[in-house]
Amino acid sequence: MLSAIRALARSPIFGGFIIALLVAAFALFGVNDIFAGAGNSAVVVGSERVQVQDLSRAYERQLFNIQRENPRLTREQADEFGLGEQMVQLLTSQAAVQAKARELNLAVSDEQVADALQDIEAFRNPFNNRFDPSTYLSVLQANGYSGPRAGEVFETELRDELLRIQVLGAILGGVQAPRVLATARRGFEQERRSITALLIPPTLAETVTIPGDEELNAFMAENAQIFRQAEQRRFTLVRFNPQDFSRDVAVDERELRDLYQFRVDTGELAEPPTRSITQWVVGDEAEANAGVAALQAGQTPQDAGLAEGVSLEAVQAFEIPDNAIAVASFERQQGDVFAIEGRLGWRVVRVDAAFDPIVPSFEEQRPALIEELSGNQAAEMMADALSRFEEARAQGLSFEAAGAQAGVPVEGFDFMTARGTTVESVPAATLQNAPDIISAIFDAPAGFETDPATYGDGGYFMFRVDEIEPERLPDVSEVRDFVESVYRTRQIDNQLQVMLDEAMERVAAGETLNQISETMPGTIVESAILPRSESSGPFSRQVVQRAFGLPAGEAFDARASDPSTRMVAVVTDITAPSGANLDPAQLGAISGELENDITVALESALFASYDIRENQELIDLALGRTDPNAIP
């Protein structure tokens, strides 16, 4: 992974709003009682601490962003791919840079934070291109910053990042590629070489006479690595795969809608809506209406004559004790004030904050719902068929008889290699995406019917190895066509080698390739001018690379793009790039490479200068690997 500090230096904040670095969902944010106190640091870097909440939010938000592009990716798979370790590394690097900023007494003012917010394009009103508070809160909510403190949380993270950028900008801001290095790079990449080659095609060879079986068998023994046949196995295979049963599935429309509503109700499709409200107890309807009018006119609750209010922050509807107040609150938006008669009398209610997520429609979710329900039903049908199959086997029936009784196909495969092909390299199409099955078959003894084993996406397989043919060197009569072809090709190549050796000797003696071609009928002389990264005609990439490793005038032998054609090639000219001007893009690319090198060195230096301690138990807790309730 590229250095995490490098990621900080390329902060997304000023080029456009990319929320991924300041990552989203607050999975552990609400369990402060578990993580409270000084002992909740997952990582300590010098004087800086990476709290469990910080690591959890970073991991959850990054996982959220990844799953938006890859909905099937599970938390467990993301962890297997190393997402957790990457986030620990990133936050450790951030803490190291932040510790250095503290040592240097650097700080970020409120004005700098405000200017940075103004520069984030996503927070601007599209009509006037100015920072818009409502757009700001809407974008934060869409990216996982919910609740009344969403702006405060984001601005704290923004301030910390601006502080880190002060350090990194001072170190990396002036990195420029030396012109001498850029000149050398340009010379390496833009140099061209003129290559002339004498091509000796296989058509120049005399007709090859195929010898008798005794000599061919000897030839095979001398080249056993070419002709040795791999171990082969003949086997019987039974597979149970949910996809094979999906064609018999009919999804009920009511079940689709019920599943959709369940996803909505449980908050799986979007976070549940919330309201923050303040309510004041009043004596009657007239007093309630007067209080509403006063608050709407801009008076404070005290000036309006209201007693001390009761506030509820970021609550769902069921968390508001009075159902009438709950219904009315969720019908209104932030800033609305209303009077209502609740279960215990009249109240003045003000909506302080409103969060209403965008819930995908049923039609938008329909394909995924169909896939889920049909997959579940297919899995149930598969399980029933597997159960019937196993019951039949328990009665002593063979694979074939049990398959017939359970209504599942039993596949018979003739001799196959461990690559899932015949000895002639013809693949078995149904085995190409089942390496686990092939591996198991070639690890098992012959004659035994195996128990079910899992494979693929929820499938099961079992097999019986019917016969094993060990690795061996076949007789010429079994592979005659192949042996004769290899023998013929080898003899032709030997003849061309003689011609090639003669041509190389004549070049060394001072003859040109054209002179040699005139006395070797059938040979061809071709030329090309190429950079080191290209190929053309008979000049393969390997030939071009050889040419760039030799001085002008030196000859070398090689195989052409068609390997059966041999060649003698000479570098006739070397052309350096012309002009003194350097490409700005190339200078920038080299500067970027230098920044990478400096960044890696910086990270190593920072890690070496601070005492870094990791609490693996808390890291596992933050990454969701352990149950918070299990913490003593």
Q: How far apart are CA 35 and CA 17, in angstroms?
A: 31
Which of 327, 355, 383 terminates a domain? The answer is: 355
DSSP H/E element including 7 = helix 4-9
Instruction: With CA atoms as reference, report the closest residue to 575 among 544, 602, 552, 599.
Output: 552
Residue 170 CB neighbours (<10 A): 11
Beta bridge partners of 527: 196
Answer yes or no: do 155 and 16 share one domain: yes
Which of 406, 436, 469 terminates a domain? The answer is: 469
Answer yes or no: do 30 and 160 share one domain: yes
Range of the domain at 537: 192-228+479-575
**Residue 328: per-residue pLDDT:** 95
Answer yes or no: do 418 and 486 share one domain: no
pLDDT tens digits along 382-438: 899 999 999 999 999 999 999 999 999 999 999 999 988 887 788 888 888 788 999
**Residue 14: per-residue pLDDT:** 34
**Residue 17: per-residue pLDDT:** 34
Kindly give the residue spans of alpha helices, DSSP state H, lying in 203-252. 213-222, 224-227, 242-245
What is the sign, positive or negative, of the torsion defined by CA atoms of 86, 91, 96, 98?
Answer: positive
Instruction: With CA atoms as reference, report the closest residue to 547 among 577, 567, 522.
Output: 567
Answer yes or no: do 201 and 237 share one domain: no
Answer yes or no: do 339 and 296 share one domain: yes
Q: How far apart are CA 439 and CA 417, in angstroms?
A: 10
Q: Is 469 exposed, middle or buried (0-12, 13-18, 19+ CB in 10 A)?
A: middle
CATH of the domain at 284: 3.10.50.40
Answer yes or no: do 299 and 392 share one domain: no
Q: Could you give the 3-state DSSP secondary structure of residue 415?
A: strand
Contacts with 42 (C-beta within 8 Å, 6 or more apart), sequence order: 50, 51, 52, 54, 55, 88, 614, 615, 618, 619, 621, 622
CA distances from 597 to 151, 405, 604, 621 (A): 36, 67, 11, 34
Contacts with 84 (C-beta within 8 Å, 6 or more apart), sequence order: 59, 78, 619, 623, 625
Residue 265 lies in a domain: no
Answer yes or no: do 68 and 15 share one domain: yes
Per DSSP, which regions of 183-244 are E strands? 192-200, 232-240
**Residue 629: per-residue pLDDT:** 53
Residue 107 lies in a domain: yes
**Residue 79: per-residue pLDDT:** 85
**Residue 186: per-residue pLDDT:** 67
Answer yes or no: do 456 and 514 share one domain: no
Q: How far apart are CA 365 and CA 262, in angstroms?
A: 12
Question: What is residue 54's DSSP assignment?
Answer: H
Residue 440 lies in a domain: yes
Q: How far apart are CA 335 and CA 390, in angstroms?
A: 66
Which stretches of the chain drop beneath a pLDDT of 70? 1-39, 144, 146-148, 169-187, 578-597, 599, 627-632
CATH of the domain at 431: 3.10.50
Q: How far apart are CA 57 and CA 63, in angstroms?
A: 10
**Residue 221: per-residue pLDDT:** 93
Residue 256 lies in a domain: no
**Residue 22: per-residue pLDDT:** 34
Which of 441, 469, 497 terminates a domain? The answer is: 469
Answer yes or no: do 463 and 502 share one domain: no
pLDDT tens digits along 101-143: 888 888 888 888 888 888 888 888 777 788 888 788 878 877 7
Residue 377 lies in a domain: yes
**pTM for the full predicted model:** 0.46
Q: How far apart are CA 431 and CA 441, in angstroms?
A: 12
**Residue 215: per-residue pLDDT:** 94
Contact in structure between 31 and 603 (CB atoms under 8 Å): no
Residue 255 lies in a domain: no
Q: How far apart are CA 369 and CA 362, in angstroms?
A: 9
**Residue 4: per-residue pLDDT:** 41
Contacts with 98 (C-beta within 8 Å, 6 or more apart), sequence order: 48, 160, 163, 164
Answer yes or no: do 535 and 504 share one domain: yes
Residue 615 lies in a domain: yes
Q: How far apart are CA 626 and CA 624, in angstroms?
A: 6
Residue 23 CB neighbours (<10 A): 24
Tokens linked to 189 = 């990449």
Residue 117 CB neighbours (<10 A): 17
Instruction: With CA atoms as reference, report the closest residue to 57 among 627, 618, 622.
Output: 622
Answer yes or no: do 445 and 504 share one domain: no
CATH of the domain at 102: 1.10.4030.10
**What's phi and psi for 412, nearest 5 deg?**
-110, 130
Q: Could you give the 3-state DSSP secondary structure of residue 234?
A: strand
Q: Could you give the 3-state DSSP secondary structure of residue 520?
A: coil
Q: How far apart are CA 48 and CA 92, in angstroms?
A: 9
**Residue 2: per-residue pLDDT:** 34
Answer yes or no: do 565 and 493 share one domain: yes
Contacts with 599 (C-beta within 8 Å, 6 or more apart), sequence order: 3, 5, 6, 9, 172
pLDDT tens digits along 553-609: 999 999 999 999 999 999 999 988 765 566 666 666 666 666 666 767 777 788 888
Look at the chain and report how many structural domains it folds into: 4
**Residue 390: per-residue pLDDT:** 94
Q: Any idea which residue has 């092939």 for tokens?
A: 438
Q: How far apart are CA 525 and CA 503, in angstroms?
A: 12
